[in-house]
Amino acid sequence: MKKRLLMLAVAAACCTAAVQADEAKPGGNAVVTYQNDIATLDPAIGYDWQNWSMIKSLFDGLMDYRPGTTELVTDLADGYTVSDDGRVYTFTLRKGVKFHNGREMIAADVKYSLERAVNPKTQSPGAGFFSSIVGYDEMTSGAAQQLSGVEAPNDSTVKITLKEPNATFLHVLALNFASVVPREAVEKWGADFGKHPVGTGAFEMSEWKLGQQLVFKKNPAYFKSGVPLLDSITFEVGQDPSVALMRLERGEVDIAGDGVPPARFLQFRQDPKYKGLLVTGDQLQTGYLTMKTTLPPFDNLKVRQAVNMAINKDRIVRIINGRAAPANQPLPPAMPGYDKSYKGYGYDVEQAKSLLSEAGFSRGFDTELYVMNTDPQPRIAQSIQQDLAKVGIRATIKSLAQANVIAAGGSADRAPLVWSGGMAWIADFPDPSNFYGPILGCSGAVEGGWNWARYCNKALDAAAAKADSMAKPEQQQARINAWSKIFTDVMADAPWVPVFNEKRYTVHSASMGGADALYVDPVHVPVNYDYIWKK
């Protein structure tokens, strides 16, 4: 490289162990269970914890992370250079990489894939991640059909020009949204491409019976030697988490995707016979309650502040057996930019009532609270409902499948309140900017976006863009300070109630092998399927 940009990488405490490939045994099938079906496996659209790592196993991008860590490495790119002004990235592609349909991947595919993610017709919730690329504004406005800042001068070279230096750009290219897809497969399946995914990944789709199971099979032509280790993975859906755990204990299931049900968590963790099966890891995560700032009465700041003061976060943490710490701001404590001195909105029922009265709601009001239907999320929603009732807010709970909650949250006129549990924000990449753009920035406040509060503060968007232009190593502390202020300014507008920062737990059978870091992978959330194996 001509110039190396400083990347802020915060490795999860659990995830420093090396992948011990010399102990790995290739072959076998792993069974993974989930209660809810998978919404989509289209990398430009899929954006929840359940399908994130599945998509990563089907597709590749220019960049990725070393397994079990937050260390950036090249993936489909064989190498890259960065111009002296930090604006032009030139990538050389690996030769001989093939899509699952047998065609060789070339630079034009990279250009097409990035443009597809940005194209408004795709309705990608990740489109805003690429806003730093020259031509983004013209394409999103409909004035252009291509990204002028992405060029493919030949089959093995991709040149990307940014509007200004961006400290997170290589992280962005490691996101699922930047995965490379073949145009012909997308055009063949249209809106159903997410049910018929074709990528270059370690696994390829073999079977999908909606509401029953998905089967991934090993990609025999994968460009990484010895990867994947498993011959196949069967994802069974419609499985009650309690039943799935019993089946895991009997050896019928290898990974219980929804984890250990709260009612059994303490007993499972303390039982010696399960030692080593429950893997624990820190994560860059915040669970929060969104308030749709564009819908009355949540368009009133005092109402939003009152809701912040009405929620008893300590009680919610007890509901999940202490597997989290109460939160007071969007950033989790392990993320650069977290403000240790910030106190936030304390639990104060009387002050909440006073604020509601000042806002003209002395008698409260009726509203709806959307929640994912997997335990313990409905019980957390009931706790929130009870807290709101104490200040006069009467919330009807809408307990739905994950995909339905996501759809409602991304709608302009539905889901005035959403509890994010089960879908709570886990960093796409280890940098504070990732906790802003998609979930608090104006770019995410669109139909189908993940800014469920529809919060859009253009002044903070400008401050965020300025912070991310600080790409030089000597600017990093100033950049982190800028991000810290952005998030406390967000809380002044109170579009969320940050509730807790949760640890990650993955439970697997005794027949599964691989480093613990792979089962709580900080990037391939929740599991890095490419490197785990059957004993």
Spatial distance between the Cα atoms of 437 and 451, rounded to a whole number of angstroms: 9
Task: Over range 219-244, report the average pLDDT.
Answer: 96
pLDDT higher than threshold 80 for residue 7: no
Number of H helices, E strands in the chain: 16, 22
Spatial distance between the Cα atoms of 433 and 437, rounded to a whole number of angstroms: 7
| Domains and their CATH numbers in the chain | 60-183 (3.90.76.10), 285-503 (3.10.105.10)
Tokens encoding 529: 């399927």
Chain centroid to Cα 186, Å, comes to: 23
pLDDT, one tens digit per residue, over 304-363 is 999 999 999 999 999 998 889 999 999 998 888 999 999 999 999 999 999 999 999 999
pLDDT higher than threshold 80 for residue 20: no
pLDDT higher than threshold 80 for residue 3: no
pLDDT, one tens digit per residue, over 35-61 is 989 999 999 999 888 899 999 999 999
Spatial distance between the Cα atoms of 68 and 18, rounded to a whole number of angstroms: 8
Judge whether 326 and 343 are in contact, CB under 8 Å.
Answer: no
Tokens encoding 161: 């020009």
- Which of 422-431, 449-458, 509-518 shows the lowest mean pLDDT across its residues? 422-431
pLDDT, one tens digit per residue, over 439-454 is 999 989 999 999 999 9
- Which of 199-203, 267-271, 298-302 shows the lowest mean pLDDT across its residues? 267-271
pLDDT higher than threshold 80 for residue 18: no
Note the pLDDT of residue 77.
98
- How does residue 526 score in pLDDT terms, banded at 50, 70 and 90? confident
Q: What DSSP character marks residue 105?
A: P
Q: Which amino acid is at 366?
A: D
Q: Which residues pair with residue 268 across a beta bridge?
A: none
pLDDT higher than threshold 80 for residue 173: yes
Chain centroid to Cα 48, Å, comes to: 6
Question: Of 439, 468, 470, 469, nearest to 455 (Cα)?
Answer: 439
**Could you tell me which residues come within 8 angstroms of residue 152 by beta carbon, excluding any fewer than 6 positions away?**
106, 107, 108, 110, 111, 158, 159
Which strand (E) or helix (H) includes residue 380?
A: helix 377-390
Tokens encoding 113: 């894939």
The chain-wide mean pLDDT, for the chain, equals 92
Reduced to 3 states (helix: H, G, I; strand: E, B; else coil), residue 136 is helix
Q: What is the DSSP string of 263-317?
A: HHHHHHHH-GGGTTTEEEE---EEEEEEE-TTSTTTTSHHHHHHHHHH--HHHHH
Percent of the chain with pLDDT over 90: 79
- How does residue 204 score in pLDDT terms, banded at 50, 70 and 90? very high
Judge whether 257 and 56 are in contact, CB under 8 Å.
Answer: no
Task: Over range 409-437, report the average pLDDT.
Answer: 91
Task: Over range 273-300, report the average pLDDT.
Answer: 92
**Could you tell me which residues come within 8 angstroms of residue 104 by beta carbon, excluding any fewer than 6 positions away?**
96, 97, 98
Note the pLDDT of residue 71.
84
Q: Which residues pair with residue 10 across a beta bridge?
A: none
Note the pLDDT of residue 334.
81
Q: What DSSP character marks residue 416?
A: S
Spatial distance between the Cα atoms of 505 and 453, rounded to a whole number of angstroms: 28
Task: Over range 23-33, report the average pLDDT.
Answer: 94
Strands, E assignment, 282-440: 285-291, 324-326, 365-372, 393-400, 417-419, 425-426
**Could you tell me which residues come within 8 angstroms of residue 109 by beta carbon, excluding any fewer than 6 positions away?**
180, 181, 182, 183
Q: What's the half-sphere exposure (Cβ side, CA atoms, 13 Å) at 437?
A: 21
pLDDT higher than threshold 70 for residue 392: yes
Task: Over range 417-434, report the average pLDDT.
Answer: 88
Note the pLDDT of residue 16.
32
- How does residue 5 score in pLDDT terms, banded at 50, 70 and 90? very low
- How does residue 19 score in pLDDT terms, banded at 50, 70 and 90? very low
Task: Over range 406-433, report the average pLDDT.
Answer: 91
- How does residue 9 score in pLDDT terms, banded at 50, 70 and 90? very low
Note the pLDDT of residue 87.
94
pLDDT higher than threshold 60 for residue 21: no
- Which of 148-162, 167-181, 394-408, 417-431 shows the lowest mean pLDDT across its residues? 417-431
Note the pLDDT of residue 473.
74
Interhelix angle 476-493/458-468, rounded to 10 degrees, is 160
Note the pLDDT of residue 240.
93
Reduced to 3 states (helix: H, G, I; strand: E, B; else coil), residue 214 is strand
Note the pLDDT of residue 283.
79
pLDDT, one tens digit per residue, over 87-102 is 999 999 999 999 999 9
